Amino acid sequence: MPDELLTVLGADAEQNDKNAPELSERDLRTLYEALVLARILDEHCELLHDGGKLSFWVPSGVAAAVAAGSALALDDADWLYPSFRSAAAYWLRGGSVEQWVAQMLGSADDSQHGRQVAGHASLPDGRYVSVSGVLANHVQQAAGTALAMRLRGEPAAVLALLGAGSAAQAGFHSALELAARLALPLVLVARTDGHLDLASRAAGYGLGTQRVDGGDVLAVLKAARAARALAAGGRGAQLVEAIVHEGDAVDPAVRLRPFLEHRGLWDPGRQEDLQQRCHARIAAAIEVAESIGKPPAATMFDDVYAERPWMLQEQAEQLSRELETREENA
Amino acid sequence: MTELSLLQGIHRTLRQEMQRDERIVVLGDDVGRWGGVFGVTEGLLEEFGPQRVLDMPMAEGGLIGTAVGMALYGVRPVPEIQFADFIYPGFDQMVSEMAKMRYRSGGDYSCPVVLRVPYGGGVGGGMYQSQSPEAYFCHTPGLVVAVPSNAQDAIGMLRSSLRGNDPVVLLEPKRLYRRAHSPVPEDDFEVPLGSARIVREGTDVTVLVYGAMVPVAEEAAQMAAESGIQTEVIDLRTLLPLDIATVLASIAKTGRAVIAAEAPKFCSYAAELAATLAERAIVHLEAPVLRVSGFDTPIPFAFEDEYLPGPRRVYAAIEQVANF
């Protein structure tokens, strides 16, 4: 039997208020703003893509609610292994919009030196690991980090975000096997369309599970927070199946807004102001990224090894000569 | 000086480094209670406990992925793969994750996993317990690939690996694990990764080898000496990055090169060495660079001896380039 589907945001405002997870006004606003920002970033990305300036990106879409709710459920000491559609989580873990955009466009400000396509920002201070380009590999790594936490006796947890596609990968299953066997402080938040019934599969491995309405950011937060408490408290690994219907595309910010209004935290004036600020901030970040250009090409030879071995040194010199010749000929 | 086998050298160094650095954790299939399939990790569980020595589920992808996640957290994992032949489910984690973590995070994370991998033939293991997969790993920027051939090098290279910040694939020639005991210094020496060793000096032909092929090449060199050919044998020790200076200096002296390895010939590490010599040493070369290798087949159980390059096959190549 699948778990009951957890929902907070329904039609009855009083009921919503009663069901909602405990949240300060400040956190509630931050959560809402992250969702709005994710939506507006999607709009800018679409324009950049249409203009030929962004070759690859994955929109946050409704999944922003899953990323944001999950990120806000964590303590500072916890780790987050994101997947694509996790921009909101990056910001909620302390990352800046400007760095996200710099990474997305591979500008000189990108701390990863233009090595990865959009959506792979890294944030070690926020214990937010750069998204892997390969499906489900990070699930196994999250289990490894959770194991390391356990060995060190740290009272924290690891949360990994993943999509339904990851559930077919071997790494997903070997991670569940290990996490269940060792009762690791691991929380997996998986987006599915509900047909997979991933929760039942995870329960088969021995994980605690909860199904949740993935477009409902407060429900995700509530479920992820409960799962996190169980996992960190020694009750074993947990899986939250966040059911998201990409097609219906109800903006999770729009769904959350009446909740804020009901608490007197929001009004149309604030909304307009927020949207303007988000647009302006993203537009400014894009402008900076486009105007400062790419990082120096020589950085491509850094970070392959702790120190550059001879062949990389030679190749760096070769490229430098090629670029000089190109400039002379230009 | 103590006399140790290659296996004892690895065991002792693991133990000493675990005493020295409490971040080091050993993990793998049966590395704990059973002490590892070859006995390399024997006694470590008793000494360091289940927080430092972990028996893991039999899933190599899971094992290596777990090690990557541990390394990001600041632990120094030393996973053991029972046989190199079983490493392929973990190949994705090695190539896509372990090797690229520092690069893709812009230096935010490094991934100092020391992956211990018994490899090679000559133990009656047949197709799935005899392979030499080094070429796959050497094609991956970000990995260090090292192959000790004796106790002293194994100790020094393992120490360097455990004290460094790069992911290392330590290919251990299981055929040599218990074959010979050799004296090792007692001090805290390291063998830098990326440095080759001249095993035997000679002026006529250079033989480039590593791992289990080192004693084979020594034997072939002895046979050649009896025919009046002075062979220089170089143990490359680290395949990636290669000690190019030592190799080129030897070729400048001898002008003739033979490369010998157990792996299949086509697209092998030996092919990389031959191409490197063609690019950088052509003015010194007096003869074609010859590769002595296994055949381009899987390793058939009943014909292991016929498959593996032995001293005679290496000697034939030495003679051929010397008389070219």
Q: CATH number of the domain at A138, please.
A: 3.40.50.970
Model confidence pLDDT, tens digit, residues B155-185: 999 999 999 999 999 999 999 999 989 999 9
The answer, for B160 touching chain A at a CB cutoff of 8 Å, is no
A145·B164 Cβ contact <8 A:
no
Report the residue of chain B nearest A150, measured CA to CA: B51
Distance of alpha carbon B266 from the chain centroid: 19
**What average pLDDT does the segment A271-275 reach?**
97
Instruction: Inspect the interface and report whether the beta carbons of A141 and B65 lie closer than 8 Å.
Output: yes
Q: Are residues A226 and A304 in the same domain?
A: no
User: Residue B241's closest chain A neighbor by CA?
Assistant: A309
| Beta-carbon contacts below 8 Å between A and B | 142
Question: Nearest residue of A to residue B109 by CA position?
Answer: A124
Task: Identify residue A329 by its one-letter amino acid code.
Answer: N
Complex ipTM over 0.90: yes
pLDDT attached to residue B82? 97
User: Within the 262-321 window of chain B, which residues sit less than 8 Å (CB to CB) from chain A?
Assistant: none
First to last CA, chain A: 69
Burial, B198: exposed, middle or buried (Cβ in 10 Å; 0-12, 13-18, 19+)? middle
Chain A neighbors of B246, CB-CB under 8 A: none
pLDDT at B246: 98
Domain limits of chain B? Answer: 2-184, 197-322
Domain B197-322's class? alpha beta
H-run or E-run covering B45: helix B44-48
Domains B2-184 and B197-322 share a fold: yes
Statement to judge: residues A256 and A322 lie in one domain: no
Q: Which of A112, A137, A306 sits opposite B93 (nearest CB)?
A: A137
Give the model confidence (pLDDT) of A87-138 as tens digits: 999 999 999 999 999 999 999 999 999 999 999 999 999 999 999 989 999 9
Range of the domain at A69: 5-292
- B108–A144: do the CB atoms touch at under 8 Å? no
Name which of A130, A133, A148 is nearest B73 (Cβ-Cβ).
A148
Residue of chain A with shortest Cα separation from B96: A134
Low-confidence ranges of chain B (pLDDT < 70): none
**Residue A125 at interface with chain B, using a CB cutoff of 8 Å:** no
> Mean of the per-residue pLDDT values for chain A?
95
Q: Which residue of A has its CA nearest to B243?
A: A310
* Of the candidates A158, A140, A163, the residue with the CA atom closest to the CA atom of residue A60: A163
Residue B115: exposure state from Cβ atoms within 10 A (0-12, 13-18, ≥19): buried
Interchain proximity A144–B73, CB inside 8 Å: yes
Interface of A with B in 141-180 (CB under 8 A): 141-149, 151-152, 158, 170-171, 174-175, 177-178
Predicted confidence band at A330 (pLDDT cuts at 50, 70, 90)?
Answer: confident
What pLDDT was estimated at residue A250?
84
pLDDT confidence tier of residue A1, bands split at 50, 70 and 90: low
What is the count of structural domains for chain A? Answer: 2
For A31-44, what is the mean pLDDT?
98
Tell me the chain B residues in contact with residue A174 when contact means C-beta distances shorter than 8 Å: 57, 59, 61-62, 65
pLDDT range class, residue A249, cuts 50, 70, 90: low
- Quickly name the fold that domain B2-184 has: Rossmann fold (3.40.50)
Window B:131-150, CB contacts with A under 8 Å = 141-142, 144
Asked whether residue A146 falls in the same domain as residue A253, the answer is yes
Q: Evaluate if residue A328 carries a pLDDT over 90.
A: no
* Dist CA B190 CA B198 (whole Å): 17
Rounded Cα gap, residues A123 and A252, in angstroms: 25
Predicted local distance difference test score (pLDDT) of residue B271:
98
Q: Are residues A313 and A255 in the same domain?
A: no
Query: Mean of the pLDDT values across residues A174-192?
Result: 97
More reliable by pLDDT, A249 or B110: B110
